[in-house]
A and B are shown apart, each in its own frame.
Chain A
Amino acid sequence: MTLALVGGTHRTVPLDLRERLAFSAEQTADALARFRDRFPGREGVLLSTCNRVELYAAGAPDAPAPDATDIVAFLAECRGLDATQLEPLLSRERDEAVVRHLFAVAAGLDSMVLGEPQILAQVKQAWTLAQENRTAGPVTGGMFQGALRAAKRVATETGLGRQRVSIPSVAVADFASGVFERFDDKRVLLIGAGKMAAETLRYLREAGARDVTIVNRTAGRAVELAARLGARPGRFDRLAAELVTADLVVSTTGASDPVVTLDLFAAVEPRREGRPLVVLDLAVPRDFDPRIGTRSGVWLYSVDDLAAACDANRRSRQREMPAALAIVDEETRRFMGDLHHRSTAPVIERLRAGWSETGDAELERLFRRLPHLADADRDEIRQAFDRYAAKLLHPPLVSLRDESRSGSPHGLLDALKRLFDLDD
C-alpha cells in the first residue's frame, strides 16, 4: 500500500493563488471523476477549504499511488493553472507522513486558528464527496476514519478546542454566560452598527437571545440593520431609557467620545433596581466611560479586555499541542500497523489455503484407508487436523502482526513465501 499527498495551505501558498486553486463542491466532483480516469485503480480524496487544497491518494502494490509530480500536474490541469508555478509552492508527503498530516489537519493542529473545529466537518465532507464519486476505497476509508477518531480524541482528551479565541465568542461564552444563566429572558441592546456587533449578536442568538434592540445615531441604519438581524430598531435619543431596561449591551459605534458617560449612567442606575448589566464595549475608542465598570452589578469589558482573554486562551491551546501531537502520533502508528498488517493478508490467505489443501488431501487418503469410520469420527479427525493447522500457523501470524507495528514486514513475508513456496 502506498500513500501520497500533495497540497498547499495558508502557510505555503499566497492567498491569490490559493483562491484560484480552491475547488467548489461541483469542481471537486469533476476533479474526482477526472482522477478516476487519469489514475485508474487508485483511491483519491480532495480536501479543499479556504485555507488549504490537498489531494490524498492511495494505491495498491500493483497500482501504486501517483507520484507527486503527476498529482501537481493533475491539480494544475483541473484548475487551469501553470504546473510550474504551483510546483514549488505545494508540499508533498508519502506514506506515514501522509497519515500523520491528515490526522493533524482533522484535529485542527494545522489550522490558521489552532484547534478550530470547522475543519473536521470539511474533512468529513471531502471523504463523502470521494465516496459519492467512487474514488474512495478501503485505504483512504481507513485513513479518514482514523482521522475522525484522532480528531475526536484530541477534542475530548485535550483542552485544545475548548477555549474560544475570537473576541465575540469569548465575550459571550466566557463573560456574558458567566453572569447570565440564560439569554431568552434578557434584553440585549446594540449601540452602533459595527461589524463586530453583528458577529456578537450571532453568538448571543445561539445562546438564546431573542429580545434585541438596535440604536444608532443614523436612524435609517438602525432600521436597516434591525431588519437584517431580526431585531427591533430603537431611537438613539432614548438611549438612557433603553439602558434602564437592558441586561446586556454591545456597543460598537465609531464615536470619538464616550457615548455613555459616567453621569449618564449614574442617572440611569437607580432606575435599574439593582439588576446586573453586562457591557461589551467593542468600540475603539471606547463607548462607555471605563469608570462605569467599577459600579456594583456592572460587568464592563472593552476590546482590550476581551483580546487579552483571547490571547490567554490561544496560549492555553498552544500548551495543549504536545498532548494533541502525542495522540496524533499514537493514532498514526495504530493506523500504519493496521495498514501493514492488511498488506500481509494475501500471503496469509495463500498460506492458509495451501495448508488446508494439503490437509484435505491427507484426510481424503486417510478416510479411504479407514472406510469403517463413522461420520462423527471423521468430523472429530477433521477438527483435530484444523486445530493442528491453526496452532502451527499461530506463531508466524503473531510474528507478522508484531512486525507490522514497526513497519511493513517485507523480510518476514519474503521468508514465508520462500519457505512455503507461495506464488505472488
Chain B
Amino acid sequence: MAEFVAGISVVCFAASYAVALACEALRPALRSGVRGIAMLGFAAAGLLAHTLFLVWRAATEPSIPLSSPFDWYLLAAWLLAAGSLWLTITQPRTPVGLFVLPVVLMLVGAAQLSSRQPFPQSPATQIWGAIHGMFNLAASVAVLLGAVAGGMWLIQAGRLARKQAPVQGFRMPSLERLAHVTSRTPGIAAWTAAAGFVSGIVLNAVNRQRGLLETVPWNDPVVVRMAAVVVWLVTADALVHAARRRAEGPRAAAWLALASAAVLSASMLWGVFGATRHGMPPPASPAAASSGPATAGHEDSP
C-alpha cells in the first residue's frame, strides 16, 4: 500500500483533473449520463490521488503541509478541487468543474514550477509559519472562488441580457446566488490576506530573533507583492461595499473579483519566477553548515 501511495505523482491527479475537465467541456454536446459519471469518476479519482499525495508528503517530509511553495499551491488546488466535486454532486446541472478545474490545474502547474524545499523551521516559527500560510491560503482560495463566481455572473448576465434561453446541460447558477459569492469573497480575501501579511511580519521578527532564516527586508519582492495584493483586496472590498446599494453593484463586484484574481495571479507569477530572500537561511556559518539539508537554502524560483 505504502509503495502504491509513494508512486502517486502530481501528473496522476493533474491528468485525472484534465480528463474530468474535458468531460465537463463536452456537457452541451454529450448529454449521456455516462459523461456525467465519467466526469465525477475522474474528478473523484484525481481528488483521492491528490489527497494521498499530500498525506504522504506530510507523513514523510520533515515538515508540516504549507511548509514549501509547492505544498502551498497543492493545498490551495486541493481545496478548490474538493469544493468543485462537492458542488458538482450537489448541483449536477451546473458546470462548476468547467470554471473551477482550470484554476485547479493552473495551481498544480504553479506548484510544479515552485520549490519543493521546506522552509527551515523551529517550533516557534512552525506555528507562525502555519498561521501565515493558512491566512494566505484562505485569501487566495477566496479570491479564486470569487473570480469563478464573477466569471459565471458575467456569462449568466450576458445570456439574460441577450434574452437567450439557457444552453441545454449548461445551466448557470442564478445571478442572485453568484452575486452573493462575489460580494462576500472580497471581504474574506481582504481580511485574511491582511492577517497573512501581519503574521508574516511576526514570523520575520521571530526568524530574525532566532537567527533561523535570513531577515526579509521591506523592499523584498515578496513583501512588496503581498503588500500590493493586500492593498488591492482592501480597495476592492471597499469598492464592492460602496456599490452594494447600486444597480451596477453586482456587475462591479463581478469585474472586481476577476481583477483580484488577475492581481493575485500576477503576484503568484512574480513569486514563481522572481528572486527573493523570503524563506532563505541566514548567510552560511560553520554552525549552519554542519546542520545538514534541513537548513539548506533555496530560491522560490525553479
* Chain A residues within 8 Å of B291, by CB: none
Chain B 1-44: CB-based contact to A (< 8 A → 1; otherwise 0): 00000000000000000000000000000011100000000000
- B165 contacts A180, CB within 8 Å? no
Chain A 265-299: CB-based contact to B (< 8 A → 1; otherwise 0): 00001001110100000000000000000011111
Nearest CB in chain A to that of B251: its residue = A296
B88 at the interface (CB under 8 A from A): no
Main SS of chain B's interface residues? loop
* Chain A residues within 8 Å of B249, by CB: 274
- B160 contacts A299, CB within 8 Å? yes
- B33 contacts A179, CB within 8 Å? no
- B246 contacts A274, CB within 8 Å? yes
Cα(A298)–Cα(B161), bound, Å: 9
- B174 contacts A178, CB within 8 Å? yes
Nearest CB in chain A to that of B31: its residue = A159
- A309 contacts B165, CB within 8 Å? yes
A410 at the interface (CB under 8 A from B): no
Please tell me the number of chain B residues within 8 Å of chain A, measured between CB atoms: 28
Cα(A177)–Cα(B32), bound, Å: 25
* Chain A residues within 8 Å of B247, by CB: 269, 272, 274, 276, 295-298
A33 at the interface (CB under 8 A from B): no
A301 at the interface (CB under 8 A from B): yes
Chain A 302-319: CB-based contact to B (< 8 A → 1; otherwise 0): 000100110011001000
- A316 contacts B172, CB within 8 Å? no
How far apart are A290's CB and chain B's nearest CB, in angstroms? 12
Q: A175-B160, A274-B246, A297-B248 are in contact. Are A313 and B173 (CB under 8 A)?
A: no
A window 165-210: CB within 8 A of B: 170, 174-175, 177-182
B250 at the interface (CB under 8 A from A): yes
How far apart are A407's CB and chain B's nearest CB, in angstroms? 30
Chain A interface category by residue count: 20 to 34
Cα(A299)–Cα(B159), bound, Å: 11
Cα(A313)–Cα(B167), bound, Å: 9
* Chain B residues within 8 Å of A162, by CB: 168-169
How far apart are B241's CB and chain A's nearest CB, in angstroms? 13
Partner of B168, one of A156, A170, A274, A316: A316
A330 at the interface (CB under 8 A from B): no
* Chain A residues within 8 Å of B164, by CB: 309, 312
Cα(A157)–Cα(B33), bound, Å: 7
- A179 contacts B174, CB within 8 Å? yes
How far apart are B158's CB and chain A's nearest CB, in angstroms? 11
How far apart are A51's CB and chain B's nearest CB, in angstroms? 25
- B166 contacts A157, CB within 8 Å? no
* Chain B residues within 8 Å of A276, by CB: 175-176, 247, 250
How far apart are B183's CB and chain A's nearest CB, in angstroms? 12
Nearest CB in chain A to that of B179: its residue = A276
* Chain A residues within 8 Å of B210, by CB: none
Chain B 232-253: CB-based contact to A (< 8 A → 1; otherwise 0): 0000000000001111111100
* Chain A residues within 8 Å of B173, by CB: 181
B window 165-223: CB within 8 A of A: 165-166, 168-169, 172-177, 180
A213 at the interface (CB under 8 A from B): no
- B33 contacts A180, CB within 8 Å? no
Interface centre among A178, A180, A312 (most CB of B within 10 A): A178
- A178 contacts B31, CB within 8 Å? no
A245 at the interface (CB under 8 A from B): no
* Chain A residues within 8 Å of B177, by CB: 181
A158 at the interface (CB under 8 A from B): yes
Cα(A170)–Cα(B248), bound, Å: 26
- B245 contacts A174, CB within 8 Å? no
- B165 contacts A313, CB within 8 Å? yes
A163 at the interface (CB under 8 A from B): yes
- A174 contacts B175, CB within 8 Å? no
* Chain A residues within 8 Å of B63, by CB: none
How far apart are A182's CB and chain B's nearest CB, in angstroms? 8
* Chain B residues within 8 Å of A170, by CB: 165
Cα(A156)–Cα(B161), bound, Å: 30
How far apart are A178's CB and chain B's nearest CB, in angstroms? 5
* Chain A residues within 8 Å of B166, by CB: 174, 178
- A179 contacts B165, CB within 8 Å? no
* Chain A residues within 8 Å of B175, by CB: 178-180, 276
- B174 contacts A156, CB within 8 Å? no
- A177 contacts B174, CB within 8 Å? yes
Cα(A299)–Cα(B162), bound, Å: 10
* Chain B residues within 8 Å of A182, by CB: 176
Cα(A96)–Cα(B91), bound, Å: 40
How far apart are B126's CB and chain A's nearest CB, in angstroms? 43
Q: A181-B177, A301-B163, A305-B163 are in contact. Are A296 and B172 (CB under 8 A)?
A: no
Q: A159-B31, A296-B247 are in contact. Are A308 and B163 (CB under 8 A)?
A: yes
* Chain B residues within 8 Å of A157, by CB: 31-33
Write 24 A-B pairs (CB below 8 A) sorted by A numbering.
A157-B33, A159-B31, A163-B168, A164-B165, A170-B165, A175-B163, A177-B174, A178-B156, A178-B172, A178-B174, A180-B175, A181-B176, A181-B177, A274-B247, A276-B250, A296-B248, A296-B251, A299-B161, A301-B163, A305-B163, A308-B163, A309-B164, A309-B165, A316-B165
Extra A-B contacts (17), CB below 8 Å, given A156-B33, A170-B165, A273-B245: A157-B33, A159-B31, A159-B169, A163-B168, A164-B165, A175-B163, A178-B159, A178-B160, A180-B175, A181-B176, A269-B247, A274-B248, A276-B176, A308-B163, A309-B164, A309-B165, A316-B168
Closest 10 CB pairs of A and B: A297-B247, A296-B247, A309-B165, A159-B168, A305-B163, A181-B176, A181-B174, A274-B246, A274-B247, A181-B177
Which B residues are within 8 Å of any A CB, using their own CB? 31-33, 156, 159-161, 163-166, 168-169, 172-177, 180, 244-251
